[in-house]
Structure 1
Amino acid sequence: MRKTLTAAAMSLTILFTMGTGNAFADSNLDKVVNSVYGTPYKMGGTTVKGFDCSGFTKYVFKKMGVTLARQSKAQFKQGTSVAKSQLKEGDLVFFNTLGNGVSHVGIYVGNGKFAHASSSKGIHIDKLSNSYYQNRYVGAKRILSKYTYRLFATEL
């Protein structure tokens, strides 16, 4: 019973956190992210027992049949660069959190927000406008093709 209540509360939190009116809200991508929301952070983690940032993005994209490199720096070399003003749900967003280039990655979920593996909160959704992330933003990459975007990141 407690797990059911926790899952219901988490679902409501995600719903209110993400907002309404974006393509991501009712997509397969949304379902994959929601299925691991709250999973704890684990350095080197790539499974539902714990994720680091690139382990999370690799896991989500694998569920969509897309292969990503294992580390954030290598993921940054994949796909096509996208201007921040042109972000679409499913784009990867990259940050310099350690002072030596790309060191963190998340998945843009629309409405100025991204899902990522936070070292303190686990899989979580934050605003790109949060001063911490805004000051460390490096860039974004579009990994999904037009076909895979339609298949996974648009409303069902």
Structure 2
Amino acid sequence: MVNFQSKVALISSILFFSGCSSSPTPSKQPVNQTSTTTLSQHDLKIQQSFLKVHHRWEGVPYRLGGTSFNGIDCSAFVQVAYRDALNVNLPRTTLQQSKIGSSVKYNDAAAGDLVFFKTSRTTRHVGVYLGNKQFLHASTSRGVIISRVDNPYWASKFWHFRRVQSPPTFN
């Protein structure tokens, strides 16, 4: 018979390996948060809304299952970011988030689209695309940060983009 500690260890392992994962080698190239050369005015406003969220959450550590400033995982962070930046409610998990909205081709991605990665056979990671090859996410190694989609690590793990809904209208 399996004892209680073995069951806890098994469940912990399953949760660990099925959650978000993000451990790229840190890029030597600084993230450019102000480059707007390819962004429309509308995308720029969306980007700015998400950058306000980043400012509040920057550096908050990653914690699997976390949903607060004490620690947050990738899908919870995306859920909070969408709520705070665009007043849009998203599902809680990466799997649920990967099924909403519509698929977007890589070259058609716009600020506010969800970006998904397959970091292992069973693990997925999600972030919010900011435009200019940048995305906002909760990294397992560095907490809430902005990374580049074309970073060799992320480029090798890229899965797809999804557009949640028609972009919001700004006055």
TM-score normalised by length of structure 1: 0.78
Corresponding residue for residue 116 of structure 2: 94
Specify the SS of the correspondent of 1:27: helix
SS at match of 2:136: strand
- Unaligned runs of 5+ residues in structure 2 are 1-29
Give the 3 Å change call, closer, same or farther, for CA 111–26 of structure 1 in structure 2.
closer
Report if aligned partners of 1:82, 1:139 keep a CA contact under 8 Å in 2: yes
2:120 and 2:134 map into 1 onto residues whose CA distance is 21
Q: Which amino acid in 1 is paired with 2:92?
A: R
C-alpha change, 1:76 and 1:108, in structure 2 (3 Å) is: same
Give the direction of change, closer, same or farther, for the CA distance of 1:46–1:111 in structure 2 (3 Å limit): same
- 1:66 aligned residue: 88
Q: How far apart in 1 are the matches of 2:32 and 2:142?
A: 14
In structure 1, what is the equivalent of residue 132 of structure 2?
A: 111
Instruction: Give the distance between the partners of 1:50 and 1:91, measured in 2 at CA.
Output: 23
Q: Which has the larger radius of gyration?
A: 2
Task: State the match for 1:31 in structure 2.
Answer: 52
Q: CA RMSD in A?
A: 2.1
Is 1:24–1:110's contact at 8 Å kept on the other side of the alignment? no
Q: Please say if 1:20 is aligned against 2:35.
A: yes
Identity %: 33
Q: CA deviation at 1:127?
A: 0.8
Which residue of structure 1 aligns with residue 146 of structure 2?
125
AA aligned opposite 2:121:
G
**2:65, 2:108 → 1: CA distance?**
31
Superposed CA deviations along residues 58-88 of structure 1, whole A, max 9, x for unmatched, are: 0111223211111111100011111110111
Instruction: Give the conservation status (yes or no) of the 8 Å contact 2:50–2:81.
Output: yes
Structure 1: runs of 5+ lacking an equivalent: 1-14
Using the size of structure 2 for normalisation, the TM-score is: 0.72
Measure, in 1, the Cα distance between the counterparts of 2:101 and 2:55: 24
Q: CA deviation at 1:26?
A: 6.5
Alignment of 1:50 onto 2:65: no
SS in 1 for 2:32: helix
Matching of residue 84 in structure 1 with residue 109 in structure 2: no
- Cα deviation per residue 1:36-68 (whole Å; 9 max; x = unaligned)? 111111111112221110010001112232111
The 1:60–1:26 alpha-carbon spacing in structure 2 relative to 1, beyond 3 Å, is closer
1:5-36 per-position Cα deviation (integer Å, ceiling 9, x unaligned): xxxxxxxxxx9632322415872222122211
